[in-house]
Structure formats: C-alpha cells, structure tokens
Structure 1
C-alpha cells in the first residue's frame, strides 16, 4: 500500500513539473486547480473516516472501563470499612471434653415434645366396607392375639410391649426395645 502511495505521489509530482496537471484547466490559475480540492479534516467533521470512528469507539469503551474500575474500587473501599474482624473462640475442645459428672449435658433437649403412640394392629378397608361399619361391627386386624403391641415415637418404631390395665387405664409394659441397628434396617 505504501508503494502505491509513493507511486501516486510521484505521478502527481511529474505532472506538476511538466505542467500537465490534470486538475488544472486554466494555465493562469496560481493554485493550479487545487482550490476546489478539499481536505477531509477541514470539512468540519462531516466526513469521518472509518478509522477515526473506530478510534472514537475504542476511546469511549476505555473511558467506560476506567469508570467501572473506579466505581468498583470505591465500592470495595466502602465495603472494607463496613466489615469487622470478630474474635471467634474455638469451642470444639469444650464440646469434646466430658462434663463434670462424666455425662454430656443434654438438659436442653429434655423439653422437646414427642408424639408417642401404640399400635394394636392394622388393616385395609374398601370405602364400601368403611361405610357399612356401625356400632358393634368387628374389624379384623393383621396381628394375632397375644402378639406384642408396637410403640412409635414420632412415627418411628422404638419398642414392643404388651397391653396392661392399671387403675382402670390401659398401659403398655415394654418387652423389647428396638436396637439402633434394627431402626436403621427399618428405614431401608
């Protein structure tokens, strides 16, 4: 491209020296016909080359990026003044150490309410059979007479026992406590 420009410049120079200026129509013209040639830079900015437009876009983008960076730095500076360093103590050693009585202090869970229920047995009925039930009807359960009752705590089986009557109230005498291993097996 530079060679083309040099070649074009040389042709113009040769034409001017010979007086065969293609732009000059009047030999008495002191400007040699160059007064009608306009420079794009002198055109008042109406004609802007693509390179200049691209340069302007880049400049605007860089300025915007710098503004974003300044804004981010100010935000970080503000946030750093808003945070505090707290002195957190490690309590893991205290939690692992046995209490003075040798047992863990679990008194805080003693007031949590639990639902305890005893199940004599279960059955499935059709809606028609359910609607036909009345006073004196007998519902057959899935357990045999003499089988232990099941005791549930919050819906989880924890023990088995037998029904007893104490002071005219029903109660359950526990005969078997479900081990943690059996409870895990029942979950699966």
Structure 2
C-alpha cells in the first residue's frame, strides 16, 4: 500500500510539473516538493529535454532509390464491348482529348504533371508544362 501511495504522489507531482511547463515561461511554476519523490531532478531534466527538442526532418534517403512507374496518358475513350470486338487494324478510336491538349503525367497512377510530347535524338520524350500542386494531387487520390 505504501508503494502505491508513493507512486500516486509521484504521478501528481509530475502532472503538476508538466501542466506548469505547458503554461509557458511567463506563468508561475509550482515546483513539486523535493520530498515528494526521489529522482525529481531526472524528471525535471527529462521535461526540459522534451521542451527543448527540435523536430527532426524526415530522412528521405531511404525512399530515393525506390523505383516508380511513370505513365503518359494521351487520352481515353469509353465504348461498349461490342464496338471493342469489332476493332481491326487501321481502325481509329476517337479519344476524349483535343489535339494539342497537354498529356497527363502519372506516377504509379497518380497525376503529378502535364506536358507536351517532344522528340530528342529520335526518341519520344515529354516537356513538363505544369506540375500539379500537392492539394490537386490529394484530390486525385480521393
């Protein structure tokens, strides 16, 4: 029973210290009585370390080498299976984009940019004309 009462007293004292620290530097602090528990200095220094701790920036090095799939979307079309089965070599499928409209650049299926097709040394490429904002990217995920 004596140990439980001692633990309760220590918890109360620690709670008071934390509440006082949360009020800020200008607020009066109520120090727990030194006889409340042994090792008060350790709790006080731990509280100071927590208050003074600066947030650590995330270490992105872990994810920089993860491969992703970049896809360029020219356009799309909706059609019934009956029409799809009747397609033959040379058939033309009308897409839902206008000529000259920018292509969508998707990374793992998420829209990240728009751009136009360019030719670089006999290879196709894309020149980014617009990078999608983070808010717009979140919208496309929903």
Cross-structure match for 2:126: 172
Larger RCO (CA under 8 A, 6+ residues apart)? 2
User: Is the partner of 1:129 in helix, strand or coil?
Assistant: helix
- Structure 2 residue runs without a partner (length 5+): 1-48
TM-score scaled by length of structure 1: 0.44
TM-score (norm 2): 0.58
Equivalent residue number for residue 77 of structure 2: 123
The answer to whether structure 1 residue 146 and structure 2 residue 100 are counterparts is yes
**Deviation string for 1:37-85 (max 9, x for gaps)?**
xxxxxxxxxxxxxxxxxxxxxxxxxxxxxxxxxxxxxxxxxxxxxxxxx
Q: 1:157 aligns with which of 107, 111, 120?
A: 111
Aligned-residue CA RMSD (Å):
2.2
Which structure 1 segments of 5+ residues have no match? 1-89, 99-103
The number of aligned residues is: 92
Q: Say yes or no: does 1:136 pair with 2:90.
A: yes
Considering fraction of residues, name the structure with more strand.
Answer: 2
Q: 1:112 aligns with which of 47, 66, 69?
A: 66
List structure 1 segments (4+ residues) > 4 angstroms apart after TM superposition: none
